Amino acid sequence: MAEFTMELNDEQKEVRDWIHGFAADVVRPAAAEWDEREETPWPVIQEAAKIGLYSLDFYAQQFFDPTGLGIPMTMEELFWGDAGIALSIVGTGLAAVGVLANGTEEQIGTWVPQMYGDANDVKVAAFCSSEPDAGSDVASMRTRAVYDEAKGEWVLNGTKTWATNGGIANVHVVVAVVDPELGSKGHASFIVPPNTPGLSQGQKFKKHGIRASHTAEVVLEDVRVPGHCLLGGKGKLDERLARAREKAKAGGERVKNAAMATFEASRPAVGAMAVGTARAAYEEALEYATTREQFGRPIIDNQGVAFQLADMRTQIDAARLLVWRASWMATTGKPFTSAEGSMSKLFASETAKKVTAQAIQILGGNGFTREYPVERMHRDAAIYTIFEGTSEIQRLVIARTLSGMPIR
């Protein structure tokens, strides 16, 4: 078991510097353009694929890093470059994690490579869980999956929303209700293969931030998928549902559902994204404060500015440590007995919102314009306290974990 360390090894430092170079040389120069266009930056994704940064092999290497720091390190550097473009590059990862968390070895080997494509023909994937009436309240999910025993197929109907890469993905991973009486415990995840009839893109959202990342509704109308597209297989699902029914009758222990398993695995990674955006804004503010002069001296010479920067850096470093701790715990199999995964996302997300707002304040009127990137960073940071579990939900998870009480 890898010991917890705050020092990256030489190989990790090399990878970090390589990613940072791509973020600085390719992502940042393209950031403002794709933010304005509000389109998926396919040329940038392809450049990432050409160097091996957008590939199954690279993310597998980082995912299986025994220290747990490969993924958060990658996320921080890419999102330091630009959150919208970075999310377009890593958004496929959420669908991949959904398969890794719930799928069989055969399903992982079959579907995850198809999510990425190759350098000559890049693809993306989408994880579809949220619905118009079921965001944080996953028990309210309405998308149904019914098994057609005669044909050995599952039939999916419903509408998903807020799906990154929804409708443009090569592979969609869809969470659906298979037993409504079990609430969130009656959910399962399904692969919807490329070009499956009945799946279409609904509304594409025009967003406040992360505008280079495609977010849309996914409409499922009598979508038929083969039985082997049920992640984990029907035998495993039947066993899990049977246990859940028994526990429900006895008022017993909680059973995790497929969507929650995916979110728990990804929360520290989202925290790392927030750290990257916060760090980028802090660095912009620090450089501005040391070069901008008012009343004959740099503005950092004023305590009101200097102390803000000191607080910003302290909060960023604290957020990174929480993210690294949670990532290390997840990789080494240590249980989140105090909801450490939710802690890392909560603190890092709130830090990103606060730090980017402070950066705008330090830049003054310039910070409020699109001539400077902190305006875009502040818009981007707003998403971290919303997606993959709002800050309020993270606090609820933490409070329930600490108290053992069903806090509402």
Q: How far apart are CA 94 and CA 63, in angstroms?
A: 12
Whether 259 shows a pLDDT value over 70: the answer reads no
Residue-range domains of the chain with CATH: 10-122 (1.10.540.10), 125-250 (2.40.110.10), 258-403 (1.20.140.10)
SS3 310: helix
Is the pTM above the cut of 0.75?
yes
Q: How far apart are CA 243 and CA 277, in angstroms?
A: 42
User: Tokens 């929804």 — which residue?
Assistant: 166
pLDDT (average), residues 252-269: 62
Dmax (CA) for the chain in angstroms is 82
What would the pLDDT profile of 393-406 be if each residue is shown by its tens digit? 999 999 999 999 99
Annotated catalytic residue, options 105, 153, 388, 392: 388
Whether 115 shows a pLDDT value over 60: the answer reads yes
What would the pLDDT profile of 354-385 be if each residue is shown by its tens digit? 999 999 999 999 999 999 999 999 999 999 99
What would the pLDDT profile of 46-69 be if each residue is shown by its tens digit? 999 999 999 989 999 998 999 999
176 strand-pairing partners: 188
Nearest Cα neighbor of 141 from 101, 108, 183 is 183
**Both tokens of residue 355?**
């730090």
Question: How many contiguous H segments (helices) and E segments (strands) does the chain have?
Answer: 14, 11
SS3 144: strand
Confidence of residue 265 (pLDDT cuts 50, 70, 90): low
pLDDT (average), residues 340-353: 97
Nearest Cα neighbor of 265 from 75, 97, 59, 57 is 97
Catalytic site includes residue 105: no
Whether 260 shows a pLDDT value over 90: the answer reads no
57 to 60, 63, 89, 116: CA distances (angstroms): 5, 10, 14, 10
Q: How far apart are CA 188 and CA 179, in angstroms?
A: 9
What count of residues does the chain have?
Answer: 408
